[in-house]
A = this chain, B = another copy of it.
């Protein structure tokens, strides 16, 4: 059924080799179907629900519903659609879910935009999300859009069922290069966005080719001219890529994508087209990528991170990395970049990559022109008073230098005292890693010390040290 495009760069055997590993299995579908039935029955037979809400419907949404889930994902998304206004759903949702699930299925609550239940059974998970039953897609907010997205993708895949494989390939590719997911931690491409792009471009290879020549700001009109792209550009001025939502063309489905993740996809697309390899796909990467560390400063934090929404912990962590990177650079350290990590439970870490973990022990400074009498004299007195140096260069400019006695760890500690830490942080310590060798951390922390995306090391270069 699938028509091969002219000049294909993706060898057919690579395509099938990857699909063989990422296509969901029949067993997976049947087990996830069983889980869904259990959840649906619990909700449908729920007394409390019947008594409080005039009408409701249980709906399977998300990848499982569309058949686009990856083999290693044993999750279903279940919407409990209530005939009630948004405020009422929000107010009643949690208690209704509790009374319907209590004693029937093992569950716990998660809190993102609004609370939802996760049923966890035999290694599978079902997220159960309450939402209003009757909403116009253009009025929908947040998760309320999910059922519309599911129905849209299902209807398009009914027309072109062969695109399911391409969606799986693209999701696995995005995941393999670390840009899959709209959450703060990633700031990348959501599953729905991946589906919209594949449907728009007509296949995995077509999408990768298109992405390889993207240059921000990128505009992908998936609505066939129905979207007002100028309006979207004004509404999302910081978005490096705008993809109008086919379900609501006034919304940018790619609003979560950061410049970093967009550029990573463009770069990966180019390298993939030049050097197609199974290691671009998440399920085919070696477990332990080879790493080459950079010197720098690690900030290790411990706290109760499970008490806080992961997005808020990751968000603060990223801001902290960014600010420490800038602060150390401003103090003369040769900072290159930063990485961050949290287990979302007890531990969080930021690593500032540097050319060296220390700065030069002497700091050169340009002085004012000598004809600026007061300032030139003050500059000279200050430098000499600090035990430093002053001279006039060939160009007649006054210059100076002074000794610098701080340390990276000390300077980072000082900067940390004025910066907001991730919510829940109880304590922290600062460790300086002097060389490119190991610094004594467990491997998931040592991994932070290499800013190179692992897929890049996999594909181009192998291990070197």
Contacts and interface: CB of A to CB of B under 8 A. Distances in A.
Interface of A: 212-216, 240, 258-260, 262-264, 266-267, 270-271, 274, 292, 294-295, 322, 334, 336-337, 353-356, 360-364, 369-371, 373, 376-377, 380-381, 384-385, 387-399, 401, 403, 436, 450-453, 456-457, 460-461, 464-465
Contact of A380 (B271, B369, B388, B394): B271
A403 B334 CA distance: 14
Nearest to A450: B389
A456 B213 contact: no
A396 B270 contact: no
B294 A401 contact: yes
A88 B414 CA distance: 77
A381 B267 CA distance: 12
Contact of A364 (B336, B361, B363, B370): B336
A433 to B, nearest CB: 12
Contacts of A215: 369, 371
A259 B394 contact: yes
Given A266-B371, A381-B460, 7 more contacts: A259-B395, A322-B394, A336-B362, A353-B401, A385-B461, A390-B452, A391-B452
Contact of A263 (B294, B355, B360, B397): B397
Contact of A376 (B267, B364, B391, B436): B267
A294 B361 CA distance: 10
Contacts of A387: 292, 464-465
A392 B453 CA distance: 9
Contacts of A388: 292
Total identical chains: 2
B399 A274 contact: no
A336 B270 contact: no
A398 to B, nearest CB: 7
Given A364-B355, A384-B461, A401-B355, A337 B391 contact: yes
Contact of A396 (B216, B360, B460): B216
B453 A377 contact: no
A260 B393 CA distance: 6
Most central of A264, A337, A392, A403 by chain B CB within 10 Å: A392
Contacts of A337: 391, 393, 399
Contacts of A399: 336-337
B401 A270 contact: no
A384 B214 CA distance: 24
A370 B460 contact: no
A263 B396 contact: yes
B453 A271 contact: no
A259 B369 CA distance: 12
Nearest to A336: B364
A394 to B, nearest CB: 5
Contacts of A214: 371
B389 A451 contact: yes
Contact of A362 (B363, B369, B436, B453): B436
Contacts of A270: 370, 373, 376-377
Contacts of A260: 392-396
A371 B217 CA distance: 11
Contacts of A452: 384, 389-391
A373 B364 CA distance: 38
B322 A364 contact: no
Nearest to A453: B391
Which of A363, A381, A450 gathers most chain B CB within 10 Å? A381
A362 B370 contact: no
Contacts of A295: 362
Contacts of A356: 360-362
Contacts of A460: 380-381, 384-385
A266 B271 CA distance: 59
Contacts of A213: 371, 373
A240 B397 CA distance: 13
Contacts of A450: 389
Contacts of A391: 337, 451-453
